[in-house]
Each structure stands twice: as C-alpha cells, then as structure tokens.
Amino acid sequence: MIEIGEHESIAAMAPAYSFLGMIFDQDMSNLPLVQRGLKAADPAAPHSRLGAYQEGMIQAWHELIDRDIAR
C-alpha cells in the first residue's frame, strides 16, 4: 500500500502506475473545479444528473438485472 497525501503527486509517489499517474494527477487537480461547477448548476438539487441518456441506460440495466435476479 502506498499512502499519497492530498497535495502529493501520484506520478511521483507511485511510479508503478507509469503514465496513468500523470492522468490521475490531472484528474485530481480538476476535481475542485468540477465540484464547484456541479454545485453551481443547481444548488437546491439533492444530487447531480450527469446526462439523461446515460442515466436512462444505467436505469435500464438495473431494471434488467433486478428482473433476472427475481426469477
């Protein structure tokens, strides 16, 4: 296990991740902006809705799985 601090580079601290460490670092640096944007979209909303099509596909899969499990 490798513990990486909040302000430490994943690429520097975990070289085994190779190029993915740089991608993780970029994603982590973007998270505060993403969070701020999600909150700005509708502060009264209890959750974020990412996209009607994607959400519909996820819902359809869950319904299919639930139906198959119930058999």
For the segment 22-41, the average pLDDT, to the nearest whole number, is 86
pLDDT at 18: 92
Task: Give the Å distances, CA to CA, from 9 to 6, 32, 66.
Answer: 9, 16, 41
| pLDDT tens string 32-64 | 888 888 777 677 777 766 788 888 999 999 999
Residue 46: phi, psi to the nearest 5?
-75, -20
- Annotated domain spans of the chain: 10-70
The residue assigned the tokens 């601290």 is 13
Mean pLDDT across 21-34? 91
What does the pLDDT read at residue 45?
Answer: 72
